[in-house]
């Protein structure tokens, strides 16, 4: 069913808002992907804080033209059946969600990604980003790295304290 002019304006406004708030928008082609599989992708993405939309490319290009940061972005790759994944909190999350889904559904392929500053990343760059750990994992790794020397010192002192207590108990007995 064709969209009315007002419905198209609403879609352009919604996509413009998603593009403005998104740190990175991942673009993937989904030919021959079943509706059931796309619903699963949406569920997986929702659990990760990522919004997945299937929108006409022409409307996405209009929404990009409405954004000053995205006005000069190369849109030549936005052709065919494309799905767009938006995330306003994490740059890597949309790429990870789509990559995880693409492992089980090989009909889904990366086309690229649109960064918040307007740069269009290639499919290979997006695949490389998908391999990176997420924001929460990186923070946990930094905290563990920073706290590991302190943990070592505490374990060493604890061991020496136990040996001292054992020595005092043996001397008292």
- φ and ψ at residue 22, rounded to 5 degrees: -80, 135
Estimate to the nearest angstrom the gap between the alpha carbon of 65 and the chain centroid. 24
Domain boundaries, the chain: 5-132, 133-173
How would residue 33 be classed by pLDDT, with cut points 50, 70 and 90? very high
DSSP state of 67: S
pLDDT tens figures, 41-93: 999 999 989 999 999 999 999 999 988 888 888 889 999 999 999 998 888 89
Handedness of CA 84, 90, 95, 97 (dihedral sign): negative
pTM, whole model, 2 decimals?
0.77
Query: Does 5-132 carry CATH code 3.30.70.1730?
Result: yes
Mean confidence (pLDDT) of the chain: 88
Residue 44: the pLDDT is 92
How would residue 113 be classed by pLDDT, with cut points 50, 70 and 90? very high
In the beta sheet, which residues pair with residue 113?
A: 26, 121
């Amino acid at each position: 069913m064709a969209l009315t002019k007002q419905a198209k304006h609403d879609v352009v406004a919604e996509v413009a808002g998603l593009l403005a708030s998104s740190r990175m928008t991942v673009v993937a082609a989904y030919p021959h992907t079943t509706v059931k599989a796309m619903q699963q992708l949406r569920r997986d993405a929702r659990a990760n804080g990522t919004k997945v939309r299937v929108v006409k490319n022409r409307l996405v290009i209009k929404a990009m033209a409405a954004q000053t940061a995205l006005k000069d972005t190369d849109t030549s790759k936005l052709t065919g059946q494309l799905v767009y994944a938006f995330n306003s909190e994490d740059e890597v999350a949309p790429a990870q969600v789509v990559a995880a889904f693409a492992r089980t559904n090989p009909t889904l392929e990366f086309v690229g990604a649109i960064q918040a500053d307007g740069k269009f990343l290639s499919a290979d760059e997006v695949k490389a980003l998908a391999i990176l750990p997420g924001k929460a994992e990186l923070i946990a790794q930094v905290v563990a790295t920073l706290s590991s020397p302190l943990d070592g010192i505490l374990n060493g002192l604890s061991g020496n304290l136990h040996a001292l207590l054992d020595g005092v108990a043996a001397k008292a007995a």
